[in-house]
A and B are shown apart, each in its own frame.
Chain A
Amino acid sequence: MNANFLDFEQPIAELDAKIEELRHASHGQAFDIDEEVARLRGKLKTKTAEIFKNLTPWQVCQISRHPMRPYTLDYIGVMCEEFHELAGDRAYADDGAIVGGLGRINGRSVMIIGHQKARDTKGKIRRNFGMPRPEGYRKALRLMKLAERFNLPLLTLIDTMGAYPGVGAEERGQSEAIARNLLEMAELKVPIVCTVIGEGGSGGALAIGVGDRINMLQYSTYSVITPEGCASILWKSAEKAKIAAEALQMTAQQLMELGLIDKILREPLGGAHRNPHSTGIRLKTMLLNQLDELEALPTQDLLEKRYQRLRSFGAYSGH
């Protein structure tokens, strides 16, 4: 089994391996195997389409956390001509679980803030598995205010299991850090476009997720609690995560139908990790289009629309 593929991706992994094997073999031997490779590639495409056509919410959830899934800095690398990371909250520390900085996209100045995960052990520790502490949210707030001061639009990329539940995080006011960002983002005087690129984990995600447009990548998720957390509370067993994932309606498609997000960005066949570059290019195009729309609005209108959008969230009866 290939660790970089999920259970249900194994048929894809096998075909992938076979193609690679043939291509290597062709270097040593004289006969032509192009035809066979082409046939296998076709088969790979059909098989992948077949698997991805009917993903369950739990499978989508697994893809949103896929070990090969592109992270914030990967997308920044594809989208930006230049990027200058800015560190620290000016009060306590620099939190590696959130990155942010000044970027240039198609010649335009922007501020970009996103959660950051890592693939290797050392990186995972440095990034705290993408789970920010209060200093991460306060760094994000500092950069948002910086963006406002210099009239730069703000792009956020969301990808966290949640804010870190630790002793130090509580001591330094995790709740306050998140709460403050919600309030400040609601009234930040520049356009804000938020995109869930992987996991949208509860308050830890929302703390950089209040804006004028909320997008989700096709196989990302956004939820009030992780399916595991929900399962252990309501079903008294984390093993029921699969059922909880369905009940929570956390996929992009479901949230679009509920009217809670604005746009779904389609991913390449097999998910963003099968082609990070093309996903990044699509993301860039979408973000630039949305910035064009938003920058055309006078600030007062922008803020009023943002408020009314937030105001509209809720399902209740009565007057």
Chain B
Amino acid sequence: MNWLQKLMNPRIRTDSGNGNGKSKVPEGVWEKCKGCGAVVYRPELERQLMVCPKCGHHHAIAARTRLQALLDEGTCAELFADLEPTDPLKFKDSKKYRDRIVAAQKATGEKDALIVMRGLLKSRPLMAASFEFRYMGGSMGSVVGEKFTRAAERALAERIPFVCFTATGGARMQEGLFSLMQMAKTSAALGRLRAAGVPYISVLTHPTTGGVSASFAMLGDLNIGEPKALIGFAGPRVIEQTVRETLPEGFQRSEFLLEHGALDMIVDRREMRDKLADVLALLTRSERVA
């Protein structure tokens, strides 16, 4: 890199690069930031929880990685890990649903799109769930709904707070009305938490749309967004087709939702652990833990 390129901001630098720069990046060691285009050392990106150290862009993060980063080291215990999807409708489009399940399981190493762990957050018990977006777009079928509901019920039984990180396109079409009914089931379970005064915090990450957004993602005692996450009921393409105009910049992003009153706050992923610990301590009238 010459002195002139060093002076330019990262985006320009990439755009005006010498063209074959991409092929010079060894696979897996360097990562190009999806926000600013800067080339970031992969271990550094991981240390920053997949947030670009240059521009703060939040990249997708694996469900397991997120939960392990949230909970105190060595305290995570996965729950309901043996639940697996079936194919109640024998659904087939261009591919069979069964084949899609197998492919998604192979690609992610997960049985379905929601991971639940119980552990400690700064020494206090916490139930935590996180979506694996790479598993069929984080879509919610019976397993996701069931695991979420069980997590809520277990949190209620133990009277420990529950936090869920969403990253999902919505209900899973391949399970038809079973998927839709998960919206009602999960929301009903949250009603019981609410009645018992057990805190539930929803962290909405990129993207959170459709049936998940229209059920438990929006039902947090606190709704927290990650920066610039796409959050909405209908996807932007559907809205564009309906209203037949281009949507304004920033529409349906966290900042837009905050402005319109749907979120309590936007929190950087690198500060999420501290923030969650602090607000949960306040909600449960406990001492603050540094």
Nearest CB of B to A138, in Å: 13
Query: Given the complex of chains A and B, what is the CA–CA distance between A173 and B232 in angstroms?
Result: 8
Query: Given the complex of chains A and B, what is the CA–CA distance between A202 and B233 in angstroms?
Result: 12
B191 touches A316 (CB 8 A): no
A247 touches B93 (CB 8 A): yes
User: Beyond A314-B185, A316-B142, A317-B86, is A167–B239 a contact (Cβ under 8 Å)?
Assistant: yes
B188 touches A311 (CB 8 A): yes
- Contact flags A156-179 to B (C-beta < 8 A → 1, else 0): 000000011111011111111011
How many chain B residues touch A (Cβ–Cβ < 8 Å)? Answer: 62
A316 touches B146 (CB 8 A): yes
Nearest CB of B to A72, in Å: 21
Q: Is B115 an interface residue when CB atoms closer than 8 A count as contact?
A: no
Which of A61-69, A74-82, A248-256 lies at the interface with chain B? A248-256
User: Beyond A314-B146, A315-B178, is A224–B185 a contact (Cβ under 8 Å)?
Assistant: no
Contact of A183 among B86, B182, B191, B231 (CB under 8 A): B191
B214 touches A178 (CB 8 A): yes
A186 touches B86 (CB 8 A): no
* Cβ < 8 Å to B, chain A residues 257-295: 258, 260
Query: Given the complex of chains A and B, what is the CA–CA distance between A244 and B91 in angstroms?
Result: 10
Contact of B188 among A175, A186, A255 (CB under 8 A): A186
A224 touches B233 (CB 8 A): no
Contact of B179 among A186, A224, A258, A319 (CB under 8 A): A224
A174 touches B82 (CB 8 A): no
B178 touches A206 (CB 8 A): no
B184 touches A182 (CB 8 A): yes
Q: Is B216 an interface residue when CB atoms closer than 8 A count as contact?
A: yes
Q: Is B29 an interface residue when CB atoms closer than 8 A count as contact?
A: no
Most buried by B among A163, A183, A209, A210: A183
B239 touches A166 (CB 8 A): yes
B218 touches A203 (CB 8 A): no
A170 touches B219 (CB 8 A): no
B178 touches A260 (CB 8 A): yes
B262 touches A176 (CB 8 A): yes
Nearest CB of B to A311, in Å: 6
B251 touches A313 (CB 8 A): no
Most buried by B among A187, A223, A310: A310
Q: Is B247 an interface residue when CB atoms closer than 8 A count as contact?
A: yes
User: Beyond A173-B260, A183-B191, A310-B185, is A249–B83 a contact (Cβ under 8 Å)?
Assistant: no
Which of B41-49, B61-69, B168-176 lies at the interface with chain A? B168-176
User: Beyond A170-B252, A182-B188, A316-B86, is A175–B217 a contact (Cβ under 8 Å)?
Assistant: yes
Nearest CB of B to A22, in Å: 45
B residues bordering A, Cβ < 8 Å?
80, 82-86, 88-89, 91-94, 142-143, 145-146, 149, 171-173, 175-185, 187-192, 194-195, 210-211, 213-219, 231-234, 238-239, 242-243, 247, 251-252, 260-262
Pull 22 A–B residue pairs with CB atoms less than 8 Å apart, ordered by A: A170-B251, A174-B214, A175-B232, A175-B233, A178-B233, A179-B214, A182-B184, A182-B187, A224-B172, A224-B177, A224-B179, A224-B180, A229-B238, A230-B173, A306-B188, A313-B178, A314-B178, A315-B86, A316-B83, A316-B85, A316-B142, A318-B80
